[in-house]
Amino acid sequence: MHQKVMLLLAESLANTPLQKPSLISAQYETFTSSEGLFFFDKLYKIMNTPYDILIIGAGPIGLACGIEAQKAGLSYSIIEKGCLVNSIYNYPKNMQFFSTSERLEIGGVPFITHTDKPTRSEALTYYRRLAAAWGLDLKLYEAVESLKKEGEYFSVNTSKGAYLAKNIVIATGFYDIPNLMGIPGENLPKVKHYYDEAHPYAFQKVLVVGAANSAVDAALEAYRKAHASVTMVIRENEIAKNVKYWVKPDIENRIKEGSIPAYFHSHLVAIREKEVDIQTPEGLVTIENDFVLAMTGYQPNFKLLQMLDIVLSEDAMRTPSYDPETQESNTQGVYLAGVVCGGMVTNKWFIENSIIHSKKIIHHIVGKKSKQKVS
């Protein structure tokens, strides 16, 4: 093959997922001409060049890390198992952020919304615009399946390929793994851990488990928009304190007036096709039921953290170990960004207060790089 063609091929492949090394070696061995060998060698080297950073997760914080890496001239890619900002895409269709839009802005791109607080749909438009404006290097619909440190680099295996990186940023959020109740009937199709919209619950008997924002939003929307008969089961003796201040009186008043009955200090103990059992302070109560919305929260993918030997606290919080100055975990070269930093405490970090992680991480990586150059 002509030299120029080979060079073009090598350069265009430089941005595609690294082939499995064994595949490359097999091709390498069958490539015999000296001209071909020279250019294949170049191709092999380009394809094996480790990224400065691989960012796992294209949520708002993964995107912020990509922008900072790009500003600093580092080679990077953002690997995302679903679509762009996959978690937000899966939020309830009519959700409204509690933050005002300017507090969610990233990379100097203005976030213009109809009212002060963005809707999910406005947020999705914003993140698409942001990724396009910065021309971010994204690998979407590609799940990271395993990672490990091999010598001085990290090898990352995904559903579509394999990569090498000098540094890893884990920005995988918390929205993929629901906290299960561990009760009989939880796996029935009528039990949902994600609330999407009110319509499917029209004129149905719906039990909402939980008392935080997601539970309250789902209960109010199903009651008001779908004319559902909504009942709530709440472990504590009140609606969670951090429920949005403009929503909290609404739910409290609906409970007080009996439009949405609630069992406090209670928990769900069994689910059957047509009814559920609730353990209340007054004893076991059985009520008719069509759907259970188990808004019991979510947890980060701890297995991914453990693959990289990240230490988790031994208490129920399972807080990952990292330096808050740099976001570097106890495994050198692995950084934590965004909501994943909180372990089981998934409301400690959110978009607003964790955008700053991206700057700290890239600042530290750039610092390490310049030290290596000097020595």
CB contact burial 237-257 (16+ within 10 A = b; e otherwise):
eebeeebeeebbeebbebbee
| Residue 112 vs residues 88, 117, 125, 129: alpha-carbon distances, Å | 17, 10, 10, 11
102 CB-near residues (< 8 Å, 6+ apart): 110, 111
Task: Determine if 239 is a binding residue for ligand FAD (CB under 6 A).
Answer: no
Task: Determine if 87 is a binding residue for ligand FAD (CB under 6 A).
Answer: yes
Task: Determine if 264 is a binding residue for ligand FAD (CB under 6 A).
Answer: no
Task: Determine if 52 is a binding residue for ligand FAD (CB under 6 A).
Answer: no
Task: Determine if 147 is a binding residue for ligand FAD (CB under 6 A).
Answer: no
Handedness of CA 17, 48, 306, 349 (dihedral sign): negative
Helix (H) or strand (E) holding 157: strand 153-158
Residue among 19, 24, 31, 98 that touches ligand FAD (CB under 6 A): 98
Give me the 334-353 binding string for ligand FAD, x by CB under 6 A, dash otherwise.
----xx----------xxx-
Task: Determine if 62 is a binding residue for ligand FAD (CB under 6 A).
Answer: yes
Single out the segment in contact with ligand FAD by CB under 6 A; choices: 170-178, 220-228, 259-267, 360-368: 170-178
**Cα–Cα distance measured from residue 19 to residue 7, given in angstroms and rounded to the nearest whole number:** 18
Shortest Å distance, C-beta 329 to ligand FAD: 15
Shortest Å distance, C-beta 347 to ligand FAD: 8
Closer to ligand FAD by Cβ: residue 185 or 210: 210
CB contact burial 46-71 (16+ within 10 A = b; e otherwise):
ebeebbbbbbbbbbbbbbbbbbbbbe
> Could you list the residues that contact ligand FAD (CB under 6 A)?
56-62, 79-82, 85-88, 91, 95, 97-99, 143-144, 171-173, 175-176, 214, 301, 304, 338-339, 350-352
